[in-house]
Amino acid sequence: MSEALTIQPFTRPVRGRVTLPGSKSITNRALILAALSQESLTLEAALFSDDTRIMANALRALGITVSEDEAGKTIFVNGCGGSIPNPEAEIYVGNAGTAARFLTAMLCLREGGVYRMDGSAPMRKRPMRGLLDALVTHGAATVEYHGEPGFFPFTLRTNGVPGGELSVDASASSQILSALLMVAPLAKGPLTLTLAGETVSHPFIGMTLAMIEQFGIQPQGKSDTGPFPFTGGGRYYYPRPAYVVEPDATAASYYAMLPWVIGGSLTLERCYGIGLQGDIHFIEILGQLGAFFNVDGADLVAEFRERKQGGVTEDFNAISDTFLTLAAITPLLDGPTTISGIAHTRHQETDRIAAMATELRKLGQRVDETDDSMTVHPDFTAIVAKTKDSPLAIDTYEDHRVAMSFGILGSHDLHGDGRPWLTINDPNCCAKTFPNFFDVLKALRG
């Protein structure tokens, strides 16, 4: 746990530029695809954070050369052409959902592999069952659980991925389907993936299919809901020596929100070019609140113009990582906000609906919860009263997004005199995806 951080409100409208970190989802997909490809490849503008270090370390444990240059934001990967060198390894996935799901499926490509896998305490509760059951039923691996069946830790004994039909339940996480999609082209024969039921966070499936194509494999079908047919026996190959990672669209949501919270304008570098990440559509929700976005070359400029009346009612299933960015600022709205389609986020870094509801209630807000939604009835008088005498401490539940979203709320000059009123417990949990988040905020304050 890192020391608590008191957020200093902005007393003047913000002006400046933000260089966002590289996308977590793209960096970790590109690491898997580059590791499986035939050539060597350099990732540029890559993310350096807990989640990408976990992925890079795991690939090294498998005998794949991965060298990182953090200052230059590049990662060099020498692809193994689909043949994982080390038949045995211990793999630690921390609390990185992408590493947990993507590596589990990738390891099954190795015939005769024995891999012991574990994660952090929160990861030991996150859903893996849909993926593991699909791999075992298909004959790609056997699994020996060392704790609760269906969860980390476990040992995988891997067989290579046979062709045929593979049906998967990805209702708990789209990462389960993305993981199988990335290994399917390398199966031993023609393989068709089908989805049993629906998946969540659907744009991430589009990202996976688009990146598979960038790495030289044309998906046979056109559908992004399945079935997904692959001819098998394929090899990944990226046609250029460098792959440039987009800035992280979820990270952008915080700094897209900031001018609305405190006034002013912020240039979000390279964000106009974002094409693979659905989370960029969060700015349309900000538009409903009165935020305004301009394009300046490859940059997006977020501007404060007005605060529209009322709250927001929106299904966040497709962009659920951004729901916390909106939920945290609801006390500043003057009408109720309902965020739905987020049941699956109860099984992510923490139970995110419960975490946000608990912290907003501490701030005097009335919050109604259902299994898959939350409604916040804002109470401005209550938040002022609750923080009048001393700053209120926000618990972050080892969830980077709880820390960052309340960091933006705390930047608002609530008492009109620049007095700090919010403290973030364990702010360094933002290292999962955006290690310098609070430094960027401080630098903008000037």
Ligand X SMILES: O=C(O)C1=C[C@@H](OP(=O)(O)O)[C@@H](O)[C@H](O)C1
Ligand Y SMILES: C=C(OP(=O)(O)O)C(=O)O
- Give the active site residues: 321
352 is an annotated ligand-binding site residue: yes
What does the block give as tokens for 214? 């960038």
In the complex, the smallest distance separating the C-beta of residue 352 from ligand X, rounded to whole angstroms, is 10
- Alpha-carbon torsion (126, 367, 431, 316), positive or negative: positive
CA distance 78 to 66: 7
Shortest distance in whole angstroms from residue 82 CB to ligand Y: 24
- 104 counts as binding ligand Y under rule CB under 6 A: no
Q: Pick the stretch among 95-103, 104-112, 219-227, 335-343 that binds ligand Y (CB under 6 A).
A: 95-103
29 is an interface residue for ligand Y by CB under 6 A: no
The site map against ligand Y for 368-407 (x = CB under 6 A) is: ---------------------------------x------
Q: Which of 54, 84, 96, 183 binds ligand Y (CB under 6 A)?
A: 96
Is 72 one of the annotated binding-site residues? no
The distance of closest approach from Cβ of residue 5 to ligand X in the complex, given in angstroms and rounded to an integer, is: 23
Q: Which does 174 bind (CB under 5 to 8 A by kind): ligand X, ligand Y, none?
A: ligand X
Shortest CB 120 distance to ligand Y, Å: 10
Nearest CB to ligand Y, comparing residues 270 and 401? 401
Provide the minimum distance between the beta carbon of 28 and ligand X in the complex, in angstroms, as a whole number.
7
Residue 175 as a binder of ligand X (CB under 6 A): the answer is yes
Q: Which is nearer to ligand Y, 265 or 348 (CB)?
A: 348
Nearest Cα to Cα of residue 268 among 250, 244, 290:
250
> What does each C-alpha distance from 262 to 6, 14, 202, 268, 324 come to in angstroms?
17, 7, 32, 16, 18
**Residue facing ligand Y at closest CB distance:** 97
387's contact among ligand X, ligand Y, none, with CB below 5 to 8 A by partner kind, is: none
DSSP-derived secondary structure for 269-326: TT-TT--S-GGGGHHHHHHHHTEEEEEETTEEEEEE----SS--EEE-GGGGGGHHHH
Q: Judged by CB under 6 A, which of 21, 79, 97, 259 binds ligand X?
A: 97
Quick check: 348 binds ligand Y (CB under 6 A)?
A: yes
CA distance 192 to 184: 8
Query: What is the CB neighbour count within 10 angstroms for residue 61?
Result: 16
**Helix, strand, coil % in the chain, rounded to nearest 5:** 35, 25, 40
Residue 360 to residues 202, 327, 352, 353, 374, Cα–Cα distance (Å): 28, 9, 12, 11, 11
**Is residue 97 part of an annotated ligand binding site?**
yes
Is position 29 annotated in a ligand binding site? yes
97 contacts ligand Y (rule: CB under 6 A): yes
The pairing of beta strand 228-230 with beta strand 191-195: antiparallel
Separation CA 96–CA 221 (nearest Å): 30
CB of 279: closest distance to ligand X in angstroms? Answer: 9
How far is residue 91 CA from its own chain's centroid?
20
Nearest to 362 by CA among 336, 335, 338, 396: 396
For 327, list phi and psi in degrees, rounded to 5.
-55, -40
**344 is a contact residue toward ligand X (CB under 6 A):** yes
Q: Which does 200 bind (CB under 5 to 8 A by kind): ligand Y, ligand X, none?
A: ligand X
Task: Specify binding-site residues for 3-phosphoshikimate.
Answer: 24-25, 29, 173-175, 201, 321, 348
Residues that bind ligand X (CB under 6 A): 25, 97-98, 173-175, 178, 200-201, 204, 320-321, 344
